[in-house]
Structure 1
Amino acid sequence: MEKKYNQITAMLAITKASLRATLRSPSSIAFSIGFPLVFILVFGFLGNSGGVSLNVVMDKNSDTTNVIYPALKSISNLKFKDKSDEQLKEDLEKGRITAIIKIVRSNNPAIPYTIELKSSESVSPQNLAVLKQIIQSVITGINAKMYPNMPSIANISNDIQKIPGRVYRTIDFILPGQLGFSLLSAGVFGVAFLFFNLRQHLVLKRFFATPIKRSYIVLGEALGRIIFQLITAVVIIVVGKIFFHFTLVHGIVTFINIMILSFLALIVFMGFGFIVSGIAKNESTIPPFANIFTLPQFLLAGTFFSIDNFPAWMQPFCNALPLTQFNNAMRAISFEGASLISVWKEIGILAIWGVLIYYVAIKTFKWE
């Protein structure tokens, strides 16, 4: 009796061969593990703590009738936020706000105002130092222009009130970005080169001579890439955790959430690779096409620094990028302890990108 052809077995055989080929590829190892680890090591050794923005809030009880208040509001480095009391407390605890600034009248006629700061242990000491320097430069400027004969219009209180919170380190910002870098690189470059070469070397054509269905061919090759990339994600997270104390708030639960998020993001990013492999005419055109999708995201999606540093008119575009959504969700899960349900908005935007990308990929993908 003739044995029925097993599509699953054939697909798993393709997956095994694809994974083995990927592990033997120096470029895959370099882009997926090497480059991200280099960035993690560099930024990790630069310091174990470091802020990414100077988001501040002006205390509601501050004296705003003085010249200090408008001068501070005009500083572009200080991004003043309007928060409710409950949200403000939560943002302070999680390090989203650098400090609450309060301007009060003092009892000293020679120095009529005192500036008090309230912050959190989650905030980088470097950020607080920078904030104090900015405020002091504002005070110095006002003194020179308007009050040359006074000791100072204000001083900064040395007693900074700090509420409890997690210590926010440089690695807590850098590692999610580098994981996103790795996933996007593998999804675009890895898939593009893989399927282009399979088509060029007539491997796909040979597959057609077998009973395996086309969908299982794609799925088998994709699974090999996914397994390899999830292994690299584990390596990146373990290195960050062991050597630089990367924050995993809920331990193994947070780790599992990160892996699920990485899996979903990788599926979306691979769609870009399918598009590139379909539109590329030869192997030399793959990098330029791939960079059209990857380079803007590497630079604008909060991979190396916060998108708050960009002009306000550019930030909506930055926030619309799929890598931005992954980075934001990743940081919320790892440092703030958010669940996958809590980051439904970011996952939803990723899903929308996935639908659009795979619609284009289906239209452009070529078998021969």
Structure 2
Amino acid sequence: MAVKYNQWKAMWAITKASIKAIFRSPSAVVFSLAFPLVFILVFGFIGGRGVSVKVGIDHASDTANGIYAQLKEDKSIRLVTSTPKEQMEDDLRKGRLAAILRIDASKPAVLPEYKVHVKTSTAGGEKTGLLFNILTNSIHNLDDKAYPRPTVAEIIPEEVPGRAYKTIDFILPGQLGFSLLSAAVFGTAFLFFSLRQTLVLKRFFATPINRLYIILGEALARLLFQSFGSVIIIGIGYFCFGFTLINGFATFLEMLLLCLFGLIVFMGFGFIVSGIAKTESTIPPLANIVTLPQFLLAGTFFSVDVFPAWLQPICKIMPLTYLNDALRKIAFEGLHLWNVGPQLGVLCIWGVVVYAVAIKVFKWE
């Protein structure tokens, strides 16, 4: 009696072989892990510093006074004191310095006690205004200490508990989306085109394995690889840069499930590219048509709100926009998968459309 062919066992064999191939592929590792990690490290290290103004201090300036001491303690200002005068002037004209300050002391008992000369350049832009605000506040603080006086109004502060929204809380979900979209589109397109070109698919057809199980095996390999990559990305963000997982491990698991769902949707784009590509050299341009606009406009590096009003509707059509938004809401706001129904709904619609097109254009041979 003949033994029935085990489709699941064959699928798992394809999965294991594909995982080995993915880890041996430099491009897969670079796009899925290296690039997102580099961006996370860069934004993670600079994220907590905020905006700073670089200001030169004239060598003839009086530095033994309260104004200079306050500016030195202010984290929003970087004082440059050792650069030669000619270099400071050149840096000012080229916008590398917001201003050059010279603090002169007046004669004893003559008010104002100090005169602050501020030399600026039209190249300073918005940082010039920020510098004047910092200077004004510093001088007002000194006035309050030196000349206490009545005031017409009293400020009564009230602070409510809140959660700081760090740069890493915005960047990391975007880089997860970047990783998923890159791996799904480029990885799937190159893989199935290569399998056709090298006649591997034709050899598969000589075996009893069903075509569906071939796709499931390759898809499972990518799901496992991207799960590994997502764990690394989230782990480094959480332990090294304080990425917010509001509900701890439960939030981590929900983000992981959402990542896998997004990957399945994005793989449809890879099947389309693989199906319409005539040669291997045409895959990168076709894949970039799908991925590049989403990398730039789908809230990966910048919020969609910073774009012009006419461009925002285009941003809000893209599937990566909704994946990034859902990841941020789950991680920072503490929402659950059932609370991000609108985002999941749009991704489902994209999935139906994309796979309908993929079925039409995908080629086995």
State TM-score, norm by structure 2: 0.71
Correspondence for 2:308: 311
Superposition pairs of residues 192-271 of structure 1, within 5 angstroms: 192-271=189-268
TM-fit CA distance, 1:339: 0.4
Superposition pairs of residues 1-368 of structure 1, within 5 angstroms: 1-48=1-48, 161-368=158-365
Distance in structure 1 (CA, Å) of the matches to 2:179 and 2:234 = 12
Distance in structure 1 (CA, Å) of the matches to 2:131 and 2:330 = 32
TM-fit CA distance, 1:317: 1.3
SS in 2 for 1:4: coil
Distance in structure 1 (CA, Å) of the matches to 2:273 and 2:25 = 20
Code of the residue aligned with 1:204 in structure 2: it is L
Kept in 2, the 8 Å contact 1:181–1:303? The answer is: yes
Code of the residue aligned with 2:159 in structure 1: it is K
304-313 or 41-50, which deviates more: 41-50
270-279 or 314-323, which deviates more: 314-323
User: Can you list the C-alpha shifts for 1:253-283, whole angstroms capped at 9, x where unaligned?
Assistant: 1011101110110000000000000000111
Correspondence for 2:149: none
Distance in structure 2 (CA, Å) of the matches to 1:316 and 1:44 = 30
Distance in structure 1 (CA, Å) of the matches to 2:274 and 2:244 = 37
Code of the residue aligned with 1:33 in structure 2: it is L
State TM-score, norm by structure 1: 0.71
Correspondence for 2:75: none
Correspondence for 1:108: none
Change in 2 beyond 3 A, CA 1:6/1:42? same
TM-fit CA distance, 1:50: 6.0
Q: Could you tell me which runs of 5 or more consecutive residues in structure 1 were left unpaired when the two chains were aligned.
A: 52-129, 138-154
RMSD of the alignment, in Å?
2.5
SS in 2 for 1:235: helix
Q: Could you tell me which runs of 5 or more consecutive residues in structure 2 were left unpaired when the two chains were aligned.
A: 52-126, 135-151
Kept in 2, the 8 Å contact 1:180–1:303? The answer is: yes
Distance in structure 2 (CA, Å) of the matches to 1:351 and 1:305 = 24
Give the percent of matched residue pairs that are identical in Structure 1 and Structure 2: 63
SS in 1 for 2:3: coil
- Give the aligned length: 273
User: Can you list the C-alpha shifts for 1:92-142, whole angstroms capped at 9, x where unaligned?
Assistant: xxxxxxxxxxxxxxxxxxxxxxxxxxxxxxxxxxxxxx9x959979xxxxx
Distance in structure 1 (CA, Å) of the matches to 2:133 and 2:42 = 32
Moved over 4 A (4+): 132-137, 155-161
SS in 1 for 2:8: helix
Correspondence for 2:99: none
Distance in structure 2 (CA, Å) of the matches to 1:234 and 1:50 = 28
User: Can you list the C-alpha shifts for 1:219-272, whole angstroms capped at 9, x where unaligned?
Assistant: 111111111011100100000001001000000110111011101100000000
